[in-house]
């Protein structure tokens, strides 16, 4: 490791304070970045410049965020730590996670399909909670796909064609149909 004389150390200090990077300084003096770090720590120079969050800067950051810039990119652009960006206001759409957006889409599609099939259990008339209503394929051999697994991926017309092969029943009646306690042939006539 090369030793620096006092003139080189003073020059190194000035160059660092003028914005030279560790890599540039290491190449100039043919020393390691660790040595540069040692001297900077010895001089008690802060390595990080603190960005002052003025109202103008906050407005610029908010505009960037509203235009779709990620938090990570905002941190890099403005040299600000993530925890200091707690002032950013999210829009209603940004507050939803991908899971919540998908869940809402599935709920809307299921609501449409339930209303399309009458809105209540065709056996007992249950209609209190949409989550307790199921689509039961009358003939399992005609089943192309499971409706509940495809409500977010299939076209609505394709879903309607598949639902036409089904009856709408509540969860309890659906279990009783699969247990053989309710005959689906009698339901078709209802």
User: Is 1 inside a domain boundary?
Assistant: no
Give the pLDDT score at 154.
67
Mean pLDDT across the stretch 24-34? 87
- Backbone phi, then psi, for 133, in 5-degree steps? -105, 135
Judge if 140 and 60 occupy the same domain: no
- Partners of 169 in the beta sheet? 134
Full-prediction pTM beyond 0.75?
A: no
* 176 and 118 assigned to the same domain: yes
Are 36 and 59 in a shared domain? no
- Whole-number pLDDT of residue 6: 80
Confirm whether 47 is domain-assigned.
no
Check if the beta carbon of residue 30 is closer than 8 Å to that of residue 23.
Answer: no
Angle, helix 6-17 to helix 33-42, in steps of 10 degrees: 90
Can you tell me the mean pLDDT for 72-78?
83
Inform me whether the pLDDT recorded for 71 exceeds 50: yes
Same domain, 175 and 110: yes
Residue span of the structural domain in which 159 resides: 98-188
Q: What is the pLDDT of residues 116-139, one digit of tens each?
A: 999 999 999 899 999 899 999 888
pLDDT of residue 115: 93
Q: Examine residue 50 and state whether it is found in any structural domain, yes or no.
A: no
Task: Judge if 78 and 116 occupy the same domain.
Answer: no
Percent of the chain with pLDDT over 70: 88
Task: Verify that 85 and 132 share a domain, yes or no.
Answer: no
Same domain assignment for residues 112 and 165: yes
3-state secondary structure of 137: strand
Question: 11 pLDDT exceeds 80?
Answer: yes
Q: Is residue 18 part of a domain?
A: yes
- Numbers of helices and strands, H then E, in the chain: 11, 2
Look at 6 and 119; give whichever has higher pLDDT.
Answer: 119
What is the structure's pLDDT at 79? Answer: 77
Residues 13 and 86 placed together within one structural domain of the fold: no
- Confidence check: pLDDT of 34 > 70: yes
Q: What is the mean pLDDT of residues 35-61?
A: 79
pLDDT on residue 172: 94
Q: Is residue 49 part of a domain?
A: no
Q: What is the mean pLDDT of the chain?
A: 82
pLDDT in tens, 77-131: 887 878 888 887 776 656 667 787 788 888 888 999 999 999 999 999 899 999 8
Provide the 3-class DSSP secondary structure of residue 139.
coil
Whether residue 102 is found in the same domain as residue 184: yes
Q: Let me know whether 62 and 127 are in one domain.
A: no
Looking at the predicted structure, is the pLDDT value of residue 185 above 80? no
Structural domains of the chain, count: 3
Residue 181: inside a domain: yes
Q: Do 63 and 137 reside in the same domain of the chain?
A: no
């Amino acid at each position: 490791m090369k030793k620096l004389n006092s003139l080189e150390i003073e020059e190194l200090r000035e160059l660092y304070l003028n914005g030279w990077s560790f890599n540039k300084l290491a190449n100039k003096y043919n020393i390691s970045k660790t040595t540069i770090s040692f001297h900077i720590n010895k001089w008690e120079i802060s390595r990080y410049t603190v960005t002052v969050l003025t109202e103008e800067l906050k407005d610029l950051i908010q505009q960037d965020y509203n235009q779709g810039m990620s938090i990570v990119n905002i941190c890099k652009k403005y040299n600000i730590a993530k925890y200091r960006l707690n002032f950013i206001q999210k829009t209603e759409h940004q507050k939803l996670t991908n899971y919540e957006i998908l869940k809402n889409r599935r709920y809307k599609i299921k609501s449409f399909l339930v209303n399309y099939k009458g809105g209540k259990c065709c056996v007992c008339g249950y209609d209190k909670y949409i989550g307790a209503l199921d689509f039961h394929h009358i003939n399992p051999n005609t089943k192309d796909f499971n409706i509940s697994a495809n409500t977010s991926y299939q076209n609505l017309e394709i879903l309607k064609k598949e639902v036409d092969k089904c009856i709408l029943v509540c969860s309890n009646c659906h279990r009783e149909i699969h247990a053989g306690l309710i005959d689906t042939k009698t339901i078709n006539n209802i």
